[in-house]
Every structure is written in C-alpha cells, then in structure tokens.
C-alpha cells in the first residue's frame, strides 16, 4: 500500500491521475455534445427538456455526474500542483519521451486549463445550478397527438414548488409537463457578449484537448508507430475540431435566430 501511495504521490503518479481524469472528461464531452444536439431540434425544446430532466433524475446518471464533478476538481488541482512543482524543479518527462516539437498549447496548458475551469464554473452556475436549485427556470407543457405525431406547446405553471415532471395520456394525447431549460438556454444565447465568451472558450477547449488527449497516451507510455498516428488524428480532428465546433455552433445558431426574428 505504501508503494502504491508513493507511486501516485510522485510526479509521474500525478500525471497518471491527470491522464485518467482527462480521458474521462473527454468521454463526457462526447456524450454531452450528443445530448446537447437536441437543441437543434425544431420541437419547442421538447427533446432537450426531456433529456435535461432525465440527466438530473435518473440515479445512475446522477452518480456519474458527481464523478464528473470530482474529476474536474481533481484534474484542476493536480494540474495546479504539477505546474507549481515544475516551476520549482526540472520538469519530469512522460513515460515515453515524445520526439514531436513543443507546441504553443503544450507550453500553455496551465493557462488554457484555468480559463476552462473559470468557464465551467460560470456555465454550471448559469444552467445546472439554476435548473436544480432555483425557481428561475420556468415550465412547458407539451401535447402530442398520438395519431398524427404533431406536438404543440405552451407555458405551464405548476401548483406546487416541488413539481419536476409529469406524463399523462388523455384522449390519445400525450401530455408532458417539464422544466423549460431550453428557454433558459435560448435566453442566454441571445446575448452577444455571452456568445462571444462561449465561442472563445470553445477555442481554448480546442487547444487544450488537441494537446491533452495525445499527451494522456504518452503519459501511459502507449506510443507505437502504428497507433500513435491514429491517436493524433482523433486528438486533432475529433477533440480539437469537431467537438469544439459542435458546442460553438449552439450559441451561434440561437443568436442568428434572434436576428432573423
């Protein structure tokens, strides 16, 4: 046990924890983007609001969510510890030394990570915290004709403050009443200043992921002439381009809608 503890207290051990939590967060980003693509559905926010309710009320998902919050904190704390340590002593390399050139992102991971951490705090307070712990988020009622599949929606005011969601069927019409996080998202994304901050944060995320995803594999020593190009491709195009672009497209899409209207 003492050797195990000593290993993870070492500089390499801290990098291993950084790599593990970082890859877990990368996995989360894929799932999060997939869920948030519901924002592009032309259904009055029905798909996204049902998705948001599922995330916050399905116990296994809630457990994963708390693991996510813990991973963010651990990743940030260990990044800070390693940054301080590396400034006091000679930086310790990866398990396998990379022959690639040092990039701007690799030299500024601390700065990029700090900006992202601040953005996550703002982002979660604006959406997650308001959704779960305040009454600033309203409600929507969706009525779907089961014969035609047509859905209509109106604002809904519950009779109790602890109301979360209800589903019923009356005369072949499905009635879903749920918190309207979609309206909160649309409101936030109608603010040009918020959108600019969001898009810039996604640019920061791009650089952070582009280097971080690949460095995680180098930390584990998983460097191979056959598989390293695949890791590099995924790190560059999936995590460095596609995922940040997917997230950045959301505020742009909603802001353009406010202009068109």
| pLDDT tens-digit readout, 214-250 | 999 998 888 888 889 999 999 999 999 999 999 999 9
* pLDDT score of 94 more than 50: no
pLDDT digits (tens, 9 = 90+) for 100-115: 567 888 888 888 999 9
> How far is 92 from 83, CA to CA, in rounded Å?
11
Q: When comparing pLDDT for 39 and 106, which is higher?
A: 39
pLDDT digits (tens, 9 = 90+) for 116-147: 999 999 999 999 999 988 888 999 999 999 99
CATH number for 2-138+180-260 (one of 2.60.40, 3.40.50, 1.20.1300, 1.10.3470): it is 1.20.1300
* pLDDT score of 95 more than 80: no
pLDDT digits (tens, 9 = 90+) for 141-179: 999 999 999 999 999 999 888 898 999 999 999 999 999
Residues of the chain with CATH 1.20.1300: 2-138+180-260
Residue 226, φ and ψ in degrees, nearest 5: -85, -40
How confident is the model at residue 134, as a pLDDT?
86
Who's near 74: CB < 8 A, 6+ residues apart? 17, 21
Give pTM, 2 decimals. 0.88
Of the pLDDT bands very low, low, confident and very high (cuts 50, 70, 90), residue 90 is: low
Neighbours of 258 (CB within 10 A): 14
> Which H or E run contains 173?
strand 173-179
């Amino acid at each position: 046990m003492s050797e195990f503890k000593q290993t993870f207290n070492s500089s390499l051990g801290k990098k291993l924890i950084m790599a593990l939590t970082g890859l877990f967060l990368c996995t989360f980003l894929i799932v999060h983007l997939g869920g948030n693509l519901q924002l592009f559905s032309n259904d009055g926010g029905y798909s996204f609001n049902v998705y948001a309710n599922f995330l916050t009320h399905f116990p296994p998902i809630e457990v994963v969510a708390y693991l996510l919050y813990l991973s963010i904190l651990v990743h940030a704390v260990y990044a800070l510890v390693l940054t301080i340590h590396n400034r006091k002593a000679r930086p310790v390399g990866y398990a396998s030394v990379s022959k690639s050139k040092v990039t701007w992102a690799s030299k500024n991971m601390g700065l990029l990570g700090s900006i992202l951490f601040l953005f996550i705090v703002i982002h979660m307070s604006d959406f997650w915290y308001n959704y779960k712990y305040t009454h600033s988020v309203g409600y929507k009622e969706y009525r779907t004709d089961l014969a035609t599949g047509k859905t209509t929606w109106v604002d809904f005011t519950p009779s109790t403050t602890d109301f979360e969601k209800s589903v019923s069927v009356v005369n072949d019409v499905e009635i879903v009443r749920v918190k309207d996080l979609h309206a909160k998202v649309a409101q936030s994304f109608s603010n040009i200043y918020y959108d600019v901050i969001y898009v810039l944060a996604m640019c920061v995320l791009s650089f952070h992921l582009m280097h971080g995803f690949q460095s995680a594999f180098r930390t584990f020593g998983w460097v191979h002439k056959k598989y390293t190009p695949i890791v590099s491709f995924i790190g560059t195009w999936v995590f460095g381009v596609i995922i940040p672009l997917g997230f950045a497209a959301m505020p742009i899409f909603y802001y353009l809608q406010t202009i068109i209207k």
